[in-house]
Amino acid sequence: MKRGTIKPIIYFLAGVLGTITVIFFYSFKKINNAEATVDVQQDGRLQYKWYPPELPKTIYFANEKVPLDRQEIREQLDRELMYNYYNIYSTLYILKQTTRYFPLIEERLKENGVPDDFKYLCVAESALQNQTSRAGAVGFWQFMKDTAPRYGLEVDDDVDERYNVLKSTDAACRYFKDAYARFGNWTAAAASYNCGIAGFDNYSTYQESKDYYSLMLPDETMRYIFRIIALKYLITNATKMGFIIQPSDAYKPYQTYEEVVTQTIPDIEAYAVSKGITYRTLKTLNPWLRSHSLTVMQGKSYSILLPVQPGKQ
């Protein structure tokens, strides 16, 4: 072996030895029990340690500052943040849904001139699912059957547009703008979505204030805005808060195209088959179709979403 090759080999071996030493040290380094998230009991059982998530120093809803300098406000946000932070399944599922539905909702909010933060109100209402509440409220925005037509949604035996994400978002925007015109701030408008414009107006008039954070309201409404803000904080800081959704795990938007229907469809199942899809697929993409037929009155039309077939535009 030449003398000139000995030094590089020695440096290489020294580096390998140093790396092994570091790995060995940290592998057997005793973890400070105060820092560990779990203790092993003498009988082998695990005792987990639960910590409240850190509150933000400053946060806004619809560009309106939340007064976290007030103790009761911080504690109310703390309550909702802990509740949603440790509701792990729900939070992870919501995060998976955001990649599918937030782009649709954000577009409609922007088009209607409503602050983007109202998408978190939708999360608070339905967790981005077409749910039906015990009171009968339906869809992403949880409209009641009697309220929906006042904001432009069709509800009958064949069609229930409360299940249509885009149309129900437009309807919700009409409500928010009405409420904003009445109360002059978006936080009050959002709170009124829980107790109604008339309900919020009664409390506001009696207490001589339109400031949500200064009013004594029904318990559900008192928690409502704080839940929305907590969800906003968790979703916008998901990775920092420990909720890891890989791109491959997130739900992708449905790839669809619209077919405008101007004539009655007597058999929805047969219609689906004629389009080369299953009835289940048709209903998944168009949950607003509520019966086995679709009556189309003269001069009216409906847009039905159909999946883009592989290899086709």
- Give residue-wise pLDDT tens across range 200-259: 999 999 999 999 999 999 999 999 999 999 999 999 999 999 999 999 999 999 999 999
The owner of tokens 């506001």 is 204
The whole-angstrom separation of Cα 299 and Cα 301 is: 7
Q: What is the DSSP letter of 36?
A: -
Tokens read off for 29: 């380094």
Q: What is the DSSP letter of 128?
A: S
Nearest to 161 by CA among 302, 257, 292, 59: 302
One-letter amino acid of 1? M
Cβ-based neighbours of 25, under 8 Å, separated by 6 or more: none
The owner of tokens 């300098």 is 69
The owner of tokens 């020294």 is 14
Residue ranges in the chain modelled with pLDDT below 50: 1-3, 5, 16, 19-31, 313
**Degrees (nearest 5) of the Cα angle 108, 114, 118?**
85
* pLDDT at 16 (0 to 100): 47
SS3 135: coil
Inter-CA distances, 248 with 96, 240, 251, 252, 307, Å:
10, 19, 8, 9, 21
In contact, 68 and 57? CB cutoff 8 Å? yes
Backbone angles phi, psi at 113, to 5 degrees: 75, 30
SS3 257: strand
* pLDDT at 39 (0 to 100): 74
Other CB atoms within a 10 A radius of the CB of residue 55 amount to 15
Tokens read off for 81: 């943040």
* pLDDT at 238 (0 to 100): 96
The whole-angstrom separation of Cα 48 and Cα 44 is: 13
Dihedral-angle region of residue 91 (phi above 0 means left; psi in -120 to 50 means alpha; beta otherwise):
alpha
* pLDDT at 215 (0 to 100): 98
* pLDDT at 28 (0 to 100): 44
% the chain with pLDDT above 70: 87
* Buried/exposed 120-140: b ≥16 CB within 10 Å, e otherwise: bbbbbbbbbebeeeeeebbbb
Backbone angles phi, psi at 6, to 5 degrees: -70, -45
